[in-house]
Chain A
Amino acid sequence: MSHSETYSSHPDHVLHHFSDSEQQFTSAKLGMWIFLLTEVLFFGGLFCAYAVYRYMHPEMFYNVHKLLDVNLGALNTVVLITSSLTMALSIRSMQLGNKKQTLILLFSTLLLAAVFLVVKYMEYSHKFHLGQLPGKWYTFDEAEGENPHLFFSVYFAMTGLHGIHVIAGIIAITWMIIRTFRNHFSANYYTPIEVTGLYWHLVDLVWIFLFPLLYLIG
């Protein structure tokens, strides 16, 4: 069996406390999934706050959400979905042992993540300019409904935490590009890219829920 040949030599990437490459791979992924579990609960607190405030102020949420730009939100959704695709394809390329294609796809993912942040920066600076800010910083006086600052408290907390995750993803993907470039990975060992991919897809997942909840209140 080919596996025994591969593992009897105990390749460099397998740490001594793992019996083989496969065990190390599944353990690393389970570890990442447990981290993602904590991330879901972390964001869950903010989704809960959103549900409470929206339940208490349904009309204000409907009126104030119109101050967000649906086009920019939809654009960012498309950008993040595409970046998830390029991330998944970069892992596929490394599974096929194609280093050059992996680098191109990882770099595309990085570029799309940067585009997401640029669009977010445009949205944020517009709101800062108009005073559509959370809590006591709120100075915009053309919104309908009472307590419109609550919507922006929720908006900035949720998109802000998500934005921090995008920045962390950019750092992780840059690290993966450097390691791929230095030939750390092969078709037999690409665990760090796989795990980075899982993280990046979670960032996409959170946005999949944030977009309709903030921009598309019907």
Chain B
Amino acid sequence: MAESNISHHHIVPLKIYLAVAAALLVLTAITVAVSFVHLGSLNIVIALLIAGIKASLVLLFFMHLRYEWNMNAVTLMVAVVFLVIFITFTMFDIAERGDTSPEMRNSINKNAAIYDASGRPLKATEHGEHADSAAAGAQHEEPVAAPDSSGH
């Protein structure tokens, strides 16, 4: 037994490997086909769902997580959990950015004069817009970076 030619580790049957590969190819065909149907925001959900199923198949069977010590799966889950936290919280920030003050909600360019290197304005401030926004947020200071705007 000691000099056996067969490993004492779990050997996954050939037909399971072939079935998993076939499933991966079928899912690839499905995800390509679905992408040509316009479903609005559902498209990305379906695409990620199919990618998730494909990834699970690779992890469980090709990478043997189905058959072995749980610590390897825990290690992977730690990575996935932190990745989800990372992306989710970044998206919270991106989605809410600009909503912290009345000025920020409007495009900054609308309220700003743009200057060239010598200090001459390239684009004049739009006074109508400026007055509106100043009224909305009267307690805020004037922008410090616009010394010449009155001389325009």
Q: A residues bordering B, Cβ < 8 Å?
A: 2-3, 5-6, 25-26, 29-30, 33-34, 36-38, 40-41, 44, 47-48, 51-52, 55-56, 70, 74, 77-78, 81-82, 84-85, 87-89, 92, 94-97, 187-188, 190, 197-198, 201, 204-205, 208-209, 211-213, 215-218
Q: From B39, B44, B72, give the contact of A33 (CB < 8 A).
A: B72
User: CB of B38 within 8 A of chain A?
Assistant: yes
Query: Which residue of chain A has its CB nearest to the CB of B13?
Result: A92
Contacts A96-B5, A187-B7: A208 and B87 contacting too (C-beta < 8 A)?
Answer: no
Query: Which residue of chain A has its CB nearest to the CB of B1?
Result: A2
A81 pairs with B21, CB closer than 8 A: yes
A89–B61 Cα distance when bound, in Å, is 11
Contacts A77-B28, A212-B47, A217-B43: A55 and B94 contacting too (C-beta < 8 A)?
Answer: yes
Contacts A30-B71, A44-B87, A198-B63: A218 and B43 contacting too (C-beta < 8 A)?
Answer: yes
A51 pairs with B48, CB closer than 8 A: no
B79 pairs with A74, CB closer than 8 A: no
Q: From A29, A41, A85, give the contact of B79 (CB < 8 A).
A: A41
Query: Which residue of chain A has its CB nearest to the CB of B69?
Result: A26
B51 pairs with A209, CB closer than 8 A: yes
Shortest beta-carbon distance, B37 to chain A, in Å? 7
For B146, list chain A residues within 8 Å (CB).
Answer: none
B82 pairs with A41, CB closer than 8 A: yes
A5–B8 Cα distance when bound, in Å, is 13
Main secondary structure of the interface of A (DSSP, over half): helix
User: Assuming A92-B12, A212-B51, what are 18 further A-B pairs, CB within 8 angstroms?
Assistant: A33-B76, A37-B79, A48-B87, A55-B94, A70-B35, A81-B25, A84-B62, A88-B17, A187-B7, A197-B62, A197-B63, A208-B54, A208-B55, A208-B58, A217-B35, A218-B35, A218-B38, A218-B39
Give 20 CB contacts A-B under 8 Å: A2-B8, A36-B75, A37-B79, A41-B83, A41-B86, A51-B91, A55-B94, A81-B28, A82-B21, A92-B12, A96-B6, A97-B5, A197-B63, A205-B58, A209-B51, A211-B31, A212-B35, A217-B44, A218-B37, A218-B47
A201 pairs with B58, CB closer than 8 A: yes
B76 pairs with A37, CB closer than 8 A: yes
For B145, list chain A residues within 8 Å (CB).
Answer: none
Shortest beta-carbon distance, B33 to chain A, in Å? 10
A48 pairs with B90, CB closer than 8 A: yes
For A208, list chain B residues within 8 Å (CB).
Answer: 51, 54-55, 58
User: CB of B14 within 8 A of chain A?
Assistant: yes
Shortest beta-carbon distance, A57 to chain B, in Å? 12
